Amino acid sequence: MPVLVGTSGWQYPHWRGRFYPERLSASRWLEHYAQRFQAVEVNSAFYRLPEASTCEDWAARTPEDFVMAVKMSRFLTHMRRLREPAEPVARFLDRVRHLGSKLGPVLLQLPPRMKADAGRLAAALDCFPRCVRVAVEPRDASWFTDEISELLSAHDAALCIADSPWFKPPFRRTATWAYLRFHAGRATPSPCYGGAALRAAAERLAAAWGPGADAYVFFNNDGAGCAVRDAIVFARAAERAGLSATRVPPRREVRVG
């Protein structure tokens, strides 16, 4: 599988005129996006689980090769803090299974300052069937230990490599596949990334996983249209680093600022 590149969500009103044509109805934005990218991360599921009918609708409106990574509900990660995971995970999976073959990885983003708890994490990971890939994005340094890495490896779960100016986890491989998130760069206009930073990230991905990299890369820096532009730049950098990236739109279709 190639490196699947996309953005964290597609329903951003401020992308009108930057990525979406001015006259295009918002009800057609998913189709426009999916014709230009092969993957998206559904961030909205963190706040509210999509209905089964919504997942079926998304699947029907996108191409056969489209992949949707989905962020786990905050009910499990932030309210229960991974305690008693069986029911929340089962409810979540009962909804997203309606994406069918288009269901990609599930992202568990943990709360800031939540300290490492191998027991809770193991119990949560055990609730997912092996056919569902899980990425874990801790936001406290206590999680970056050999014990947690070994736990993730035992489940073939990816330590999410998340980049932001505020918190940077180690670039550590824990699974046969990779999951990268870009939250905010330091270039102009904010929160865009500079080309050098994206080239360096693509080269690190290639070095850690090799030319057959099986990776998901999403840009969460939606402000000013940066995410769309940066996804394009990263895909081109990945190709130059010897990786195979999925489709991205022509640069001329995107305006930032």
Is the pLDDT at 153 greater than 70? The verdict is yes
SS3 137: strand
Is the pLDDT at 212 greater than 90? The verdict is no
Q: For the whole model, what pTM was predicted?
A: 0.96
Give residue 167's pLDDT. 83
Tokens of 58: 């998304």
Is the pLDDT at 127 greater than 80? The verdict is yes
**Nearest to 235, CA basis, from 185, 201, 210, 188:** 201
Q: Would you kindly state where each structural domain of the chain is located, as residue ranges? A: 3-253
* CATH number 3.40.50.620 given to 3-253: no
Give residue 211's pLDDT. 87
Contacts of 159 (CB under 8 A, 6+ apart): 135, 136, 138, 148, 149, 152, 169, 172, 173, 174, 175
| 36, 248 Cβ separation under 8 angstroms | yes
Give residue 213's pLDDT. 73
- Banded model confidence at residue 166, pLDDT cuts 50, 70, 90: confident
Identify the residue whose tokens are 């990971």: 125
Is the pLDDT at 181 greater than 70? The verdict is yes
Is the pLDDT at 1 greater than 70? The verdict is no
Give residue 165's pLDDT. 84
Identify the residue whose tokens are 């824990």: 174
pLDDT tens per residue across span 81-102: 999 999 999 999 999 999 999 9
Give me the mean pLDDT over the 54-78 stretch. Answer: 98
- Whether residue 105 is preceded by a cis peptide bond, meaning omega within 30 degrees of 0, is no
Give me the mean pLDDT over the 231-240 stretch. Answer: 97
